[in-house]
Every structure is written in structure tokens, then in C-alpha cells.
Amino acid sequence: MRTLLEFEKPIAELEDKLIEMRKLALENNVDVTAAVASLTDKILELKKETFANLTRWQRVQLSRHPDRPYTFDYIEKICTEFIEIHGDRSVADDKAMVGGFGNIDDEFSVMFIGQQKGRNTKQRQLRNFGMPNPEGYRKALRLYRMAEKFGLPIITLIDTPGAYPGIGAEERGQSEAIARNLYVMAELKTPIIGVIIGEGYNQVKGVNLYGKFKDKTLDNVDIIKNTEVIYYMRNDKQELIGINKSVCSKINLKLDKNKIDDLTLFDKPDSDIYPEKELPENARKLRGFIWRGDERIKSIDDLFTKEENEMNDKIVKASKALKAKADVPMKVRKETLEYKDK
């Protein structure tokens, strides 16, 4: 079933109308060529207008779209033939890292290397959410060498949250495998084209995080002690102009309508701004970063358990009912009136 984002629904409605129109025309043998052409033009114009004016959050939603193409989808559309190569010839075959020989238009061959995620829970577990282990990087290294040996250009399709940060991966030499790949890539005598098909995350971490709410909306955030940040800088046209990596002792974020409006670094910040092409993919993630969108806190209610929220609702309801009652003076008891006579 097709998954639609909110801003895609008007387009989908027109596309459904177009399908229905063609179906009725076929069933009733009616010529609707002019109407079909007019509706098709209308759909194209709506697509151009919609996707040219996306907000920042809509762009993020689009990059995380459940139906967006992954590495194998691109390879299927580009290649007339593809032969996948498995394993690192040492430990195992990492399903998160994929690659092989691709033939384009039956004219020339290239080496494809990329990360593959998954569309459902079972596939994501199999692919480890697109996070390679050391054997995945060594598989990529093997493919680099093969491409160089046969004089083939390399196309890398980058779509990963980062290297898998598990203990086992570190024990098997995760850092060495990544460093070895960078070293070998710098020496290869065959051309390499890198294409980012996923997204880049703004990230921040520290020892303590304090959030302040205003009118039930997150307004101000302080991250304190051993803080780090990776921030994707964009201009007014939403074009990426650089990636900011910083280390400092404190970070303050000011938000406006749930979007970062201002970012301030305190106490001798060490910052660098990199052009997108000059910052390697594995350097674009804070160590240990894993996207866990299902656990995000989206409102104040998410801070408390279901039982606590239900209890709070009952208290608020009872308080409102008490305030709504008429202010009736307390009735004086007979014993009180006769007290002085005793």
C-alpha cells in the first residue's frame, strides 16, 4: 500500500481521478484525450509547485519517506544487468553493505557499492538498519580492489546512520576497517563517484539536557558538559551550504515553531565548517548515534506514563467542576447559634 505524506495527498487525489477517468473511457469507449492531457498537465504543475516550496520539516519527512528508493532500487533502474558480490573472504557477509558489477545500457560496466536498509522490521533486522560491521567495510575494500584491477569506475550510494557501534564490531576492528577504507580510496587509480541517497541528521549530545516549555511547546534547550554538535547549515532557499562540527562545554538552542532558530556555543568552542564534499560520510555522525524516531518526545504528554496522564486529566476535570459550582455560603449550625446561651 502506498504511503502518503500530508503534502502529497492533493497530488494523489488528482492521480486517482486520472486513473478513474482512463478506466471509464476504456469501459464506455469514450474519447477523453483532451481531458486526460489537461489533468496530466495540472498534476505536473501541482508537483512542481509542491516540491519547490517544501518547508524544512517537509524536506526531512521526504528524506525519511517509507517508499523512497534504496540502493537496490537505484541499481535496478540504472543497470540492465547486476551481479552482486558477497562476503569479505574473512569473517562473514555483511547484509548492510552491498555491491557488485553493474552493466549500464549493455555498453559499459561499473562497480556499485552502497548500504541497504529495509522496508519492514524483518528486512531492517537482516540489514542491521543499514549500519555496517567491520566485515561490511572489508567487503567494500575487496570491491574497491576488484574495480581497480579491472579498470572499472566506482559508484557509491551512501545511505547509512553510520557504522554499527556494538562491542562485537569494535572487537573485530571497526575503526581500523573504516580507516583502511579511507586510506585505500585515496590511493585508488580508478574514478569514484559518491552519491548521498539518504539524509543528514542534525545531532547534539552532552552529559545533561534541560528543556524549557512555553505554552506547551519546547522553547529553549540547554545541553551542558562535554557537548558536541553536528549541524547542517542551509540558506534561505534550503540549499546546503556547509556542515558545522563543534565541541564545547555548553550549547543553547532557541526554537521557534519547533524549529531551531538560534544556536549558541559557550566557553571556547572548537568549531569547523566543512563543504559537503570534504566531510566523509563516517564523520557525519556523532559516536554512538542511532536514530530512534519511534521513541521521540513530541509533546509534554510524552514525558509521563499513560496512567499519570489519565490521573492528571481526572484532577483537572474535578478542579474545573469544583470551580463551576455556585458560591453558596456555609449554613450556620443551630449549635453554633445557641453556643453563648450555654
Domain layout of the chain by residue ranges? 6-53, 71-196, 203-300
∠ CA(276), CA(280), CA(284), 5° rounding?
Answer: 80
Percentage of the chain lying above the pLDDT 90 cut = 27
At residue 245, the pLDDT reads: 87
Please compute the mean of the pLDDT values over residues 216-229 and round it to a whole number: 83
In 140-238, beta strands by DSSP E: 154-158, 192-196, 203-205, 208-214, 217-234
Asked if pLDDT for residue 332 goes beyond 90, the answer is no
Indicate the SS3 state at residue 130: helix
Judge contact between 236 and 251, C-beta under 8 A.
no
Length of the chain: 342
Is pLDDT above 70 for 237? no
What pLDDT was estimated at residue 112?
96
Alpha-carbon separation of residue 109 from 79, 101, 339 (angstroms): 9, 7, 108
Taking alpha carbons only, the member of 132, 121, 68 closest to residue 99 is: 132
Q: Is pLDDT of 341 > 80? A: no
pTM, two decimal places? 0.57
Residues 36 and 43: their CA atoms lie apart, in Å, by 11
How does the average pLDDT of the chain come out, rounded?
A: 83
For residue 267, give the nearest of 246, 286, 287 by alpha carbon: 246
**In terms of pLDDT, which residue wins out, 123 or 322?**
123
Nearest to 71 by CA among 192, 195, 181, 202: 195
The pLDDT, as a whole number, for residue 127 is 92
Question: How far apart are the C-alpha atoms of 7 and 29, rounded to whole Å?
Answer: 35
- Give 218's pLDDT tier (boundaries 50, 70, 90): confident
Average of per-residue pLDDT across 321-331: 70
Give long-range contacts, CB 8 A cutoff, 24+ apart: 207-215. Answer: 213/300
Q: Residue 82: what pLDDT?
A: 96
* Top-confidence residue, 247 or 341: 247
Q: Name which of 174, 101, 168, 173 is nearest 132 in CA terms.
A: 174
Per-residue pLDDT tens digits for 151-182: 999 999 988 777 888 899 999 999 899 888 88
Q: Are 192 and 185 in contact (CB under 8 A)?
A: yes
Give domain 71-196's CATH architecture.
Alpha-Beta Complex (3.90)
| pLDDT tier at 133, thresholds 50, 70, 90 | very high
Say whether pLDDT at 277 is over 60. yes
**Predicted local confidence at residue 232, as pLDDT:** 79
Average pLDDT of the residues in 281-292: 69
pLDDT at position 301: 64
Amino acid identity, residue 231?
Y
Residue 113 has pLDDT above 90, yes or no: yes
What confidence category does residue 83 fall into, taking pLDDT thresholds of 50, 70 and 90?
Answer: very high
Flag the least confident range among 201-210, 217-226, 274-283.
274-283
Burial of 115 (0-12, 13-18, 19+ CB in 10 A): buried
